[in-house]
Amino acid sequence: MGLRKETIEGVLWSIPYLAVFTVFLIWPALKGLYMSLHTYPNKFDLTETEWVGLQNYVELFQDPVFYNAMEGTLLFVAISVPALVILGLIMALGVNRDVAGKRTLRAIYFSPYVLTVAVVTLVWGQVYSQSYGLINYYLGFFIDNPPGWLTSPDLVMAALAFMTVWWLVGFNFVIFLAARQSIPERLYEAARLDGATGWRAFKDITLPQMRNSVVFVVMVQFILQFQVFAQPYVMTQGGPKDTSDTLVYYLYRSAFSQQQFGYGAAMGYVLVAILIIIAIVNFKVIGDSND
Partner 1 sequence: MVREAITSRTRRKFIKSAGVAGTVALAGCAGNGDNSGNNDGGGGDSTNTDGGSSGDTRSESYEITFWELFSGGEGPIMESIVNKFNEEQPLDTDAEVTINRQRTPWNEYYNKLFTALSGGEAPDMAIMHAAYLRAWDGGIDAIGSYADTASIKSDYTASHWDLVTVNDNVNALPMDMHPIGVYYNKDLFEQAGLDPESPPTNWEEFRQAGDAVVQNTDAHAFTQSPYNDGFGSYRVWSSWVKQQGGSLYDEEWNPTFDNEAGQNVAQLFSDMTGDMGWSKPTSEANWGNNAFQNGSCAMAMNGTWYVAALANVDGLNWGFFEPTVGPNKQQDKVWADGHSIVLPKKQGRSDAKSEIAAEVAHWMTTQNPSWGAEAGHLPAANSIYESDAFQNSPYYDKTLNKYVEMAEDGDYFYHPKVPNGDPNAQNWYTWLVDIWAQNSEPQEAIDSGIQTVSNGISE
Q: Where do contacts with partner 1 occur on this chain (CB under 8 A)?
A: 42-46, 65, 129-132, 148, 150-151, 153, 237-242, 253, 256-260, 263
Min dist CB 131 to partner 1, Å, is 6
Nearer to partner 1, 129 or 209 (CB): 129
Q: By C-beta, is 151 or 282 nearer to partner 1?
A: 151
Of the two residues 96 and 151, which places its CB atom closer to partner 1 in the complex?
A: 151
Closest separation between CB of residue 56 and partner 1, Å? 12
HSE toward the beta carbon, residue 251, CA cutoff 13 A: 22
| Of residues 84 and 235, the one with the C-beta less far from partner 1 | 235
User: In angstroms, what is the minimal distance from the CB of 144 to partner 1?
Assistant: 13
Q: Which is nearer to partner 1, 192 or 241 (CB)?
A: 241
Measured from the CB atom, is 216 or 252 closer to partner 1?
252
Please report how close the Cβ of residue 269 comes to partner 1 at its closest, in angstroms: 19
> Nearest distance from residue 137's CB to partner 1, in Å?
14
CB of residue 258 vs partner 1: minimum separation in angstroms? 5
